[in-house]
Amino acid sequence: MATKSLDKIYKVYSSAQASMRMITPKGYSIVFTGYHCYTQAPEVIEYLDQCIAEGVPGISHEPDCEADEITAEGSMRKKFYAEFLAEQEALKSPNRDMGTTEGAIKTGALTSKQVAN
C-alpha cells in the first residue's frame, strides 16, 4: 500500500447541517459544504478540535483523507475499488458455496437423436 504524502492529507470535519459557516475568535472563516469541511490550516484544525473537545453539538471529526478523495470522482473511485477488492477476497474464500450438480446437465441445445425424431 502506498504511503500518503503529508502535503496531500486533509483533516476532515463533519457538521449536522449541510452548509454552515463558523468564525473563529481570531477571525478565520470555516466553511462546511455538503456536511464536510476539509482543511490543512493549523489554526482551523486547532479551533475545530477545541470545539469538539468542549462538546459543541453538530461537529465531529472524520478520518483524514487525501486531496484526490475530496472530489466526487476521487471518492467514488475509492469506494468502487474497495468494493472490487472485497469481491475478489470473497471469491478466494474456501467457504464459498459453489453448489452441486445432480444428474446430467441439461442445455437448451438439441442432440442429434432429438432432431432425427
pLDDT above 90 (res 107): no
Q: Total structural domains in the chain?
A: 1
* CA–centroid distance for 35 within its chain: 15
Q: What is the pLDDT of residue 86?
A: 87
Residue 94 lies in a domain: no
Look at residue 101 and tell me if it is in a domain.
Answer: no
**Predicted local distance difference test score (pLDDT) of residue 66:** 79
Query: Do residues 67 and 8 lie in contact, with contact meaning Cβ atoms separated by under 8 Å?
Result: yes
Domain range enclosing 13: 6-84
Is residue 23 situated within a structural domain?
A: yes
2 has a pLDDT exceeding 60: no
Place of cell 500518503: 4
Rounded distance, CA 30 to CA 66, Å?
Answer: 19
Q: Is residue 96 part of a domain?
A: no
Nearest to 50 by CA among 22, 21, 20: 22
Domain contains 11: yes
Give the model confidence (pLDDT) of 20-70 as tens digits: 999 999 898 999 988 889 999 999 999 999 999 999 999 999 988 877 767
* Threshold 0.75, pTM exceeds: no
- 95 occurs within a structural domain: no
Phi-psi region of 35 (alpha: psi -120 to 50; beta: other; left: phi over 0): left
Is position 21 within any domain? yes
Residue 44 lies in a domain: yes
DSSP H helical ranges for the chain: 42-53, 67-70, 72-92, 112-116
The pLDDT, as a whole number, for residue 71 is 65
